[in-house]
Structure 1
Amino acid sequence: MIKLKLPHSYFEDHGDTIRLVWRRTLIADYEKKEIERAIKRKFRMAVDVSVQDGFLVINTDNEEVERFVAFFIQNYLGERLRNRYTGRKILYIHEGMGIPLLGYNAFGLIDRGTNLIQVRGSTGCNLSCIFCSVDEGPYSRTRKLDFVIDIDYLMKWFDWVAQQKGKGLEAHLDAQGEPLLYPYIVELVQALRDHPHVSVISMQSNGVLLDDKLVEELAEAGLDRVNLSIHSLDPEKAKMLMGMKNYDLNHVLEMAEALVNAGIDVLIAPVIIFGVNDNEAEAFIEFARKIGAGRRWPALGFQNYIPYKFGRNPVIAKPVPFKEFYEWLRKLEEKTGMKPLILKPHHFGMHPRPFIPLAFKRGEVVRAEVVLPGRIEGEMIAKARNRLIQVINTDAKIGDKIKVKIVRTRHGIYVGTKI
């Protein structure tokens, strides 16, 4: 009897299908019969395959079969890889593809002219918040593809950016979704901790995928702060806002305390929708005080709900002008004594740094090569001058050489239209 398990993975039984779960967040499905047929063709023997305690079990003692099946599974892994939480196909970006990691908003690195660099290793989310600005998560109607960047390639680009930006950087792990979906998240924190230009490592998270073991690993790797997205302290309201019936608020609250106890600072970051959860503001403050959040940085980061063109904008969410929002925060500071609630860059040690020079000017026409499909209908991703360009409203195909008019360059994120 052979019991097979691959590194950083385990198997699940899904009836006629065997599922490989790789690095917690990625999956690939194989039909039982296709594995059995492949063995029969190769070794002229009939076998049964099954799953037991995370192992792939094959009823033979032939070690060559074990090696063959391991190769078979890994050989087809790339083309079958999907996001465990969104179900979408994964495109795995590595150095051999020659894909730049600057210029696109959904993955790679973003420089907004400060000492903070946004590091986005993957796309996708395990939740479908009803106010999500980019329509992410399992119930997305617009996102059709997910990306994962090889950690060595991501760090190679980070090192180049860091050399341009100087020392004393904050590496902020965020995403158009949930950063904990990045399969190398612990290794990424460790690599950033070892980088001589990095002083602070912070991360956005909704906290759902945390457990005691992962918290300990992140702490040991050197994570400094988690900006934790908790939008209600009422379990049923939280499920509604997070867009998931199985959202476990108590687990997230426990993980918030576990982070603090592990030496990772926590900033509670609710999105405030007036008329829905603004009446919980004092409860958020009380919870932050209770767990000891905000030891080095502010304990709370209340965010004002803003509707976005490509986001989910629920009927119950009525935008409030920022003037009124800041006045609300001032009154909250006075009433509770919790300061600061009106956050400024200096509260986080952020300060201006020269931008990495722009590769394009707005209005410029450039010749670019289409290298990747986009994440939404009518979008493709092209490259030119070692930068990525989001090409919108296009029917271009991968490999096409096209002329693109640059319509946006803000913060080194390039958007263009085919002409």
Structure 2
Amino acid sequence: MIEVSLPHVTFEDVGDSIRLVWRETLYADFDKKELIRVIKRKYRVKPELIIKDGRLFIDTDYPGIEKYIAIYIQNNLGALLRNRYTKRKVLYIHEGLDVPLLGYNAFGLIDRGTNLIQVRGVSGCNLSCVFCSVDEGPYSRTRKLDYVVDIDYLMKWFDEVARIKGKGLEAHLDGQGEPLIYPFRVELVQALREHPNVSVISMQSNGTLLNDKLVEELAEAGLDRVNLSIHSLDPDKAKMLMGRKDYDLQHVLDMAEALVNAGIDVLIAPVIIFGVNDNEAEAFIEFARKIGAGKRWPALGFQNYVPYKFGRNPVIAKVKPFKEFYAWLRALEEKTGMKPLVLKPEHFGMEKREFIPLAFRPGEVVKAEVVLPGRIEGEMIAKARNRLIEVINTRAEVGDRIRVRIVRTRHGIYIGTPV
């Protein structure tokens, strides 16, 4: 038998297909009969394909056959790639596509006029929180595909953004979903730590994909803080809010403590839905104190639930005006002595910085090339002036050249409609 070996890959037998799992977070299913046909056409043999302990073997001793199949798999991987958690098709964004990484909300880089740069290498989530503002996760009804950005290409664009924004930057790994499903998560932290303009590296996470090994790797790579999304300390309520019956609250709580012990600061970040989990506020504070969260930054970041047009807005949710929400936080500060709970940019060392210059003006009509499908029905992604534009309410296809009216430019996120 000969083994087919590929870097960062394990194999699974899923019936009629062989599943290739790449870097734990992506997969591709290859039809067994097609693989055997490929081998037969080239070598005039019809071997058996065997999966053992995550490894793929070909039941033959024919020399060179393993390299031939490895090349075949690599050449066809892109068309078959899927997100392991959402099961959606994945578009892999690399330098050869010449797709800008500024202008779109789901992947790339976002500058909101401060020294914090949002770094989004991936879209998609392993959970389906009932209040998710972008309807993410395995049970999404609106999101039809995911993106993964090649790490070298992502860092190339980060270099340019950092050159404009200056030193003392915070690189914040977040996204429309869970950043830890990014296949190059540890390597990205390492690359950012080595960047001369980066002072702080932080990450938003639900914590479910963490384990002791990954925590250690992230700490060694240089991660400074995790904003940990924990929305209830009651296991059953937590499962309901996270939208998953298999959500393991105790594992996330253990990982929160493991992060602190590894030298990574933790900020507990519950979304407060009044009438559902606001009565747990003091328990959140007690847990944060218990594990030693908030050594360099605030220990808690309570968030007020806000409904969104394209999000999941549960009927159980009561929307509280922000004036009342902040009054609630101040009362909590007085009662518990935990401060600050009303958070301000200066608590995180955030300062205003000049925006990356806008490429378009609201109302402007531009000629653009459609380069990618969007995430929801009627949305495509176009490029012009080295920026991306989310084009809504369109029937355009990839490769089309269209005229687009810019309707939104806030924070360098460009939205347009076809003219």
Coarse TM-score class (shorter-chain normalised): over 0.9
2:364 is equivalent to residue 398 of structure 1: no
CA contact (8 A) 1:227 1:269 kept: yes
CA contact (8 A) 1:121 1:154 kept: yes
Per-residue deviation, 1:70: 1.0
CA contact (8 A) 1:202 1:227 kept: yes
2:120 is equivalent to residue 120 of structure 1: yes
CA contact (8 A) 2:267 2:293 kept: yes
Deviations 1:218-241 (A, max 9, x none): 000000000000000111110100
Aligned residue in 1 for 2:161: 161
Question: Secondary structure at 2:135's aligned position in 1?
Answer: coil
2:15 is equivalent to residue 21 of structure 1: no
Structure 2 unaligned spans of 5+ = none
User: For the residues of structure 2 that align with 1:296 and 1:30, how far apart are their CA atoms?
Assistant: 48
Aligned residue in 2 for 1:375: 375
Per-residue deviation, 1:3: 2.7
Aligned residue in 2 for 1:175: 175
Aligned residue in 1 for 2:32: 32
Structure 2 counterpart of 1:204, which letter? Answer: Q
Deviations 1:251-298 (A, max 9, x none): 111111111011000000000000100111111111111111000000
User: For the residues of structure 2 that align with 1:63 and 1:277, how far apart are their CA atoms?
Assistant: 63
CA contact (8 A) 1:104 1:388 kept: yes
Aligned residue in 1 for 2:277: 277
User: For the residues of structure 2 that align with 1:249 and 1:404, how far apart are their CA atoms?
Assistant: 46
Per-residue deviation, 1:22: 0.1
2:238 is equivalent to residue 244 of structure 1: no
Aligned residue in 2 for 1:217: 217
Aligned residue in 2 for 1:232: 232
Per-residue deviation, 1:72: 1.6
Question: Secondary structure at 2:202's aligned position in 1?
Answer: strand
Aligned residue in 2 for 1:97: 97
CA contact (8 A) 1:5 1:54 kept: no
Percentage of identical aligned residues: 79
Structure 2 counterpart of 1:317, which letter? Answer: A
Question: Secondary structure at 2:113's aligned position in 1?
Answer: coil
Question: Secondary structure at 1:118's aligned position in 2?
Answer: strand
CA contact (8 A) 1:382 1:389 kept: yes
User: For the residues of structure 1 that align with 2:298 and 2:247, how far apart are their CA atoms?
Assistant: 26
RMSD of equivalent CA atoms:
0.8
Aligned residue in 2 for 1:5: 5
Aligned residue in 2 for 1:303: 303
Question: Secondary structure at 1:294's aligned position in 2?
Answer: coil
Aligned residue in 2 for 1:329: 329
Structure 1 counterpart of 2:397, which letter? Answer: K
Question: Secondary structure at 1:124's aligned position in 2?
Answer: coil
Moved more, 14-23 or 130-139: 14-23
User: For the residues of structure 2 that align with 1:371 and 1:58, how far apart are their CA atoms?
Assistant: 39
CA contact (8 A) 2:100 2:388 kept: yes
Question: Secondary structure at 1:203's aligned position in 2?
Answer: strand
Aligned residue in 2 for 1:46: 46
Aligned length: 419
User: For the residues of structure 2 that align with 1:387 and 1:40, how far apart are their CA atoms?
Assistant: 47
User: For the residues of structure 2 that align with 1:246 and 1:8, how far apart are their CA atoms?
Assistant: 27
2:91 is equivalent to residue 58 of structure 1: no
Structure 1 unaligned spans of 5+ = none
User: For the residues of structure 1 that align with 2:219 and 2:245, how far apart are their CA atoms?
Assistant: 30
Question: Secondary structure at 1:131's aligned position in 2?
Answer: coil
Question: Secondary structure at 1:76's aligned position in 2?
Answer: helix
Aligned residue in 1 for 2:267: 267
TM-score, normalised via structure 2 length: 0.99
Question: Secondary structure at 2:195's aligned position in 1?
Answer: coil
Aligned residue in 1 for 2:363: 363
Per-residue deviation, 1:62: 2.5
Aligned residue in 2 for 1:340: 340
CA contact (8 A) 1:206 1:230 kept: yes
CA contact (8 A) 2:4 2:67 kept: no
Structure 1 counterpart of 2:137, which letter? Answer: G
TM-score, normalised via structure 1 length: 0.99
